[in-house]
Amino acid sequence: MLRRPALIGLAIALVVPLAACTDTTRIPEAEPSSDVAPLFASDEEALAAALDSYESYRVVTSAVSGSRDADTAVLSEVAVPTHVDELAESIEALRSEGLRTQGQPVLSSISLQQHFEEVNGDVTVVIYVCLDVTEFGVVDSLGVDQTPADRDDRVGLEIELWAMNDLAPELKVARSEVWRGSELCGG
């Protein structure tokens, strides 16, 4: 059984992942063209699609983690299967301790790190986001706030989204990690 401080951290990790920071991930340059038309004509289009997909992800994950009994299967609408499994496990651990999230982080900035389209049509888009989490927290079964008082009000994330040509042609979140870039959240 997880201790309460660990579960509170786990809850924050649902929407504001507390995974170890990573170095900038670089995706190799595109290979020669194929018969598959590119999904995005420009970086601007890729960023706009990533924003739409990430906004849906935030809404769904906040709703599921904020409920005592929402079905975690709905996470598959906004995340790839491996990420769905991670999220569902975290939510179940949170619920087993009588905790849930409350509120939703507010997106304060977004920027494109890179977007890459493979010859087979698979697409990877990596974005940086800054979230204001002042209105997002963890509460117990009585609604009492259990959010750590010493957490940062703004959190930077690196989000990786995939669109797999043959399985899921729309972008879905594949990875979300804390990113401590010096300029990401203005610091």
- pLDDT digits 0-9 by tens, 16-40: 543 333 444 555 555 545 566 777 8
Q: Answer yes or no: is 100 within a domain.
A: yes
> What CATH number does residue 115 fall under?
3.10.450.240
Residue 148 is predicted with a pLDDT of 94
Residue at 116 is within a domain: yes
Cα separation, 29 vs 161, whole angstroms: 17
pLDDT of residue 115: 94
SS3 130: strand
22/140 Cα distance (integer angstroms): 32
CA proximity to 130, closest of 151, 104, 150, 154: 154
Q: Is the pTM of this model over 0.75?
A: yes
Backbone angles phi, psi at 133, to 5 degrees: -105, 20
CA 24 vs CA 73, 156, 159: distances in Å: 31, 13, 12
pLDDT for 131-146, tens place per residue?
999 999 999 999 999 9
| pLDDT for the residue 10 | 46
Q: What pLDDT, on the 0 to 100 scale, is given for residue 56?
A: 96
67 within domain boundaries: yes
* Domain range enclosing 63: 4-18+38-178
Number of domains in the chain: 1
Could you say which residues of the chain have pLDDT below 70? 1-36, 165-168, 181-182, 187
- Residue 105 included in any domain: yes
Angle at which helices 81-96 and 43-65 cross, to 10°: 30
